[in-house]
Chains A and B, each alone.
Chain A
C-alpha cells in the first residue's frame, strides 16, 4: 500500500479533534508536522503497551514495492484503558489502515489520528494527534 496525503480525512479528523482530550506528554509540533497528513495500510508486527505513548509497528509497502516497517504513536495506555482499549485490542498480523501525521525528522513514524481495521471498525480512537492539551 502506498503513502499519500489525505486532505479529505483531515476534515473528518477535525470533528474528533474538537471532542477528545489528549494526554500527549510532548508538544505535537516538536515531533510531528500538521501539514503532512498521511494514510498507510499494512500488517501489524508489534504492539508496545507503554507510557506515555502506546505504539505499534506495521509493515507497509512503499511505491517501489519495498516493505518498510513503520512506527505508529498512540495515546497513553493510561488514557486508552479508560476508554476501554487494552493491550490486546490490536492483533499481530492484523491488517490496519492508519491515518495521521508524519514525523518532522523524516523517520518512518506516524502520530495516529485513526486506526481502522479491514472491516471498517476503529480501534484506539482518541489517540495522540487529536490535540487538546498539548498542541
Chain B
C-alpha cells in the first residue's frame, strides 16, 4: 500500500490531530512474501508464477489511490504519463478524459439526473452489487485466488464475487443477465485477458452513475508488473450507452499484511435518502 497511506500511516496522521485509543489491526506478512534485507515485504521482487509458468495474480490487493482517500466524485484520477491510458476513479470512471466519456444522449441525461439525485439510487447504496469498475476502484481490498481452470476474485466491499473461467469454455448462447457478467479468461503471454458479457441492465460503473447495459462487452487486461504491482486496463464497448469504446486503467498494490473482513451489507440508510425533487 505504498506510496499511498497504509493503515499505520492513517493512524499516524490521525494521531497528530487527536488523542486516539486504538491500535492498528495488522496481520504479519504470510509465508512466501519476499522480503527486503530489513524484513519488509519486497514489492519489487519478481512476479510469482504458478506451476505452468504463468504469472500468479493471487493475493490481497489494494487500490492505492482510493485507499488514500482520493477518487471521490470531483477529485482527479491518479496521474499518468502524457499520452497514457487515463486512470479511472471510484467517483467517475471518466475523470481522466478531457471531454468525459462518449455517452449517448440518453445516457448523458441519465447521468445528469443521477448526480442531481445525490446518487441515491446507486445499487451499492442499497446493498446491491457494485458495477465491476466500482469494485476495481473501491478503497476496500479484493482477493484474487488463482486455481487451475478458474480465477476467483472476492471483493471485500459488499462481499462481491467474480469467477473468471480459464478452462476454454465458450460463452453461453443466451447468458443469464448477471451483475458481474460471464467472464472468460486466457493468457496472452504474461497478460491475463478477460472478456465479459451478459451483464444485467442498469449497472453503475461509478458514483456518478455512468451506466453499463446488457449490450456491454468488457475486456480487462491484467498485468502483474512485479510482486507488488498489478495493472488492469479496461475497455468498455457498450454501443447502447456509449458512441465508441473507451479504455481506462486501474493500478493496484499488493497488501501482504491484511486479510479480507466479512462484509454483509445491512441497509439502514435507504429510508433516509433525499434526491433532487425533495
A interface residues (Cβ-Cβ under 8 A, vs B): 12, 15-16, 19-23, 25-27, 29-31, 50-53, 55, 73, 76-79, 81-85, 89, 103-105, 107, 109, 114, 117, 120-123, 125-126, 131-135
Q: List 10 A-B pairs, minimum CB-CB distance, nearest first.
A: A84-B22, A21-B69, A132-B69, A30-B118, A26-B125, A78-B261, A30-B120, A27-B119, A29-B118, A84-B23
B63 to chain A, nearest CB (A): 10
Q: Which residues of B contact A104 (CB under 8 A)?
A: 272, 274, 278
Contact A26 B120, CB 8 Å, known A19-B10, A103-B272, A105-B274: yes
B72 at the A interface (CB under 8 A): yes
Contact B207 A122 (CB under 8 A): no
User: Quick one: which of A19, A85, A109, A121 contacts B19, CB cutoff 8 A?
Assistant: A121
Partner of A134, one of B18, B91, B265, B278: B91
* Min C-beta distance of A121 to chain B, whole Å: 5
How many Å from the CB of A36 to the closest CB on chain B? 12
Determine the distance from Cα of A63 to Cα of B25 in the docked complex, in whole angstroms: 41
| In the complex, B13 has a CB within 8 A of chain A | yes
Are B207's CB and A27's CB within 8 A? yes
Most buried by B among A27, A78, A84: A27
Known: A83-B10, A83-B11. Contact between A25 and B127, CB under 8 A? yes
A132 near B70: Cβ-Cβ < 8 Å? yes
What sequence of 0s and 1s flags, for each residue 1-27 of chain B, a beta carbon within 8 Å of any chain A beta carbon? 000010100110110011111111110
The smallest C-beta distance from B64 to any residue of chain A, in angstroms, reads: 11
A76 touches B275 (CB 8 A): no
**Which residues of B are found within 8 Å of A31, using beta-carbon distances?**
269, 272-274
Q: Residues of B contacting A79 with CB < 8 Å?
A: 140
The residue of chain B having its C-beta at the shortest distance from the C-beta of A130 within the complex is B69
Knowing A16-B17, A77-B261, A135-B72 are in contact, say whether A21-B67 is a contact too (CB < 8 A): yes
Binding site for A on B (CB under 8 A): 5, 7, 10-11, 13-14, 17-26, 66-74, 90-91, 117-120, 122, 124-125, 127, 138-140, 156-158, 207, 258, 261-266, 268-270, 272-275, 278
In whole angstroms, how far apart are the Cα atoms of A78 and B245 in the complex?
A: 35
Q: Which residues of B contact A83 (CB under 8 A)?
A: 7, 10-11, 14, 22, 24-25
The reply to whether A30 and B25 contact each other, CB–CB distance below 8 Å, is no
Q: How far is the CA of A23 from the CA of B263 in the complex (A)?
A: 12
When distances are taken between beta carbons in the complex, the residues of chain A under 8 Å from B122 are: 26-27
Residues of A close to B14: CB separation below 8 A:
16, 19-20, 83, 125-126
* Shortest Cβ gap from B77 to chain A (Å): 13
Q: Which of B68, B72, B263, B278 contacts A78 (CB 8 A)?
A: B263
Q: Say yes or no: B266 contacts A51, CB within 8 Å.
A: yes
Q: What are 25 A-B contacts with C-beta separation under 8 Å? A: A19-B17, A19-B69, A21-B5, A21-B10, A22-B69, A25-B127, A26-B125, A26-B270, A27-B73, A30-B274, A50-B266, A52-B158, A76-B263, A82-B7, A82-B26, A83-B7, A83-B25, A89-B22, A105-B274, A107-B272, A117-B21, A125-B14, A125-B20, A132-B72, A134-B207
Whole-angstrom CA separation of A114 from B272 in the bound complex: 21
Q: How far is the CA of A63 from the CA of B205 in the complex (A)?
A: 45
